[in-house]
Amino acid sequence: MDIIDLIKEFTPRTELQQKSKELILAELLQYGERLYSRDTLHAHMSASAIILNPSLDKTLMVYHNIYNSYSWTGGHADEEQDLYTVAYREAREETGVERLYPVSRSLLSVESLPVPEHIKRGKKVAFHYHHNVTFGFICPDNQRLSIKPDENSSVAWLDINKLTELCSEEDMVPIYEDNIRQVIKLMTEKQRNYQLLPERLLPWYEKNARDLPWRKDQDPYHVWLSEIMLQQTRVDTVIDYYNRFLMEFPTIKALADADEERVLKLWEGLGYYSRARNLQKAAKNIMAEFGGNFPKDPAKINKLPGIGIYTTGAIASICFDYPMPAVDGNVLRVISRITEDYRCIDEENTKKEIGRQLAEIYPKGHCGDFTQSLMELGATICLPNGEPKCGSCPAKDICIAYKSKRYSLLPIRKEKRAREVQEITFFILTWGNKIAFRKRREKGVLHDMWELPNVYGKLDREDVKHWLQEQKGAGHIGNMNQGKHIFTHIEWRIRCYKITCEKPFGDYLWADEDKLDTEISLPTAFKKFLLPEETDFQQLSLE
């Protein structure tokens, strides 16, 4: 949204704001881009920030050398038309803080303010006006502060009730106080939205919850299994895996006693195989330490292998009515939009604080339903990557991002690190009706899983001949297919050669199709290349 639209949507609270809004809009219409440069006209655009601490009792200000007073941070547009960026940048540069979060991306205030004649860097600056817009920010007050010495001589947290004593510009104090009141009002609304969530979501969830197999009871084994399977995997994919897994391992004891290869075989295709191994390790712990009974204490649940704070919250609330939220990406997205929270949801402090605030409003006797209602809203209504289904949302009347039409800006995420690209060559070694497999010993992705023989690098047919000779093997090198496989931080770009061998060689397991179907758990990265040759491997983008 450009600055003209932001000013148009701003509702003045004072006579000065009303007059300033009309004047600035008129001059933006008249002068256009010229108003963003400080070297022209009688006025130019600027942006300021009102910064409060999380307790909302202190404001961060700089002692401005021009005015000989503590004042808000801010600066000239200098041809930058995104004035939010100007306010954010200047606030950080003038105070030295690193972490700074907008209360809203809407304007806090609009004022046309006179700037007296002054000397700056040895040059005379004539009287002019700042057509100023203000944004509100929350800033943790435990950060190191530093001044911008060419403009300011001090930076400090000031008691919001003592601005009259500390700010010598008497005409600015009412402006600061009005903006501070507005920040407090907005933050109070965010807090109120937490309080209103249970009454909005519980009735909706009762009527709209999807019929999922793990919701048919509150057996902690069932909830635990579903939550582990659902990590990094879509619900539609998990349902069949969940049902097959429970048919073979209906109890924690059955899982604990199972052969690991069989567990991995039933997990085949879900990926992230460490989840399956940890699931079985935890089952063994439950048998050894708790007599086969799933522990009810969240602290004990959290200590089980593969169970983090999210899964602990899901099990504790759904199965034992414990007021402990399960804060995952879906829930963080829902909360960041409903409260228009611009903190980065990838930061642990943000996750912990949102979890703390949710825990305070968990409805006794309905903790499990509330946890699942948040999950359900994020999975079916408050969607990522595109348009959420706001018209069907039970919380749209309290959703600040919906009212401000800024839901597309949220949640705030860290910039993703580029994946490391690795060239790798697979070999399908066949002898009669058997194919060669081996266990992957390299640490990292797919460690200790079955794999096709492979080497790093982009091998051509001549390279493959040399590799085969080094392995003391012989055979006919057939077709080559290409594809890729995407892990979280790595992308494999794959060439795969099919080699018909004259006899078995190497330290491989030579297995037929029946053994592959029943005993060998082969990750998708390799299994896809055993499909019929008409598969278009060049287009594969595998998860």
The secondary structure of 9-51, three-state, reads HCCCCCHHHHHHHHHHHHHHHHHHHHHHCCCCCCEEEEEEEEE
Q: 161's torsion region: left (phi>0), alpha (psi -120 to 50) or beta?
A: alpha
Query: Where would I find the H helices in 291-366?
Result: 298-302, 309-320, 329-338, 348-359
155: left (phi over 0), alpha (psi -120 to 50) or beta: beta
Residue 513, CA distances (Å) to 308, 436, 510, 519, 520 in order = 38, 11, 10, 10, 10
Token readout for 394 is 């039970």
**Phi and psi, residue 70, nearest 5°:** -70, 140
| Distance from the Cα of residue 488 to its chain's centroid | 14
The DSSP line for 495-516 is: EEEEEEESS--SS-EEE-HHHH
Using DSSP's 3-state secondary structure scheme, residue 83 falls into helix
Residues 6+ apart with CB under 8 A from 38: 44, 76, 77, 78
Give rounded-to-5 percent helix, strand, coil for the chain: 45, 20, 35
- Specify whether 227 is catalytic: yes
User: Alpha-carbon distance 473 to 412, whole Å?
Assistant: 54
Q: Are strands 475-486 and 490-501 parallel, antiparallel or unpaired?
A: antiparallel
Catalytic entry in 27, 111, 151, 227: 227
Task: Report, in angstroms and rounded to the nearest whole number, the Rg of the chain calculated over CA atoms.
Answer: 31
What does DSSP assign to residue 263?
Answer: H
The torsion angles phi and psi of 265, rounded to 5 degrees, stand at -65, -45
Could you give the residue numbers annotated as active site?
227
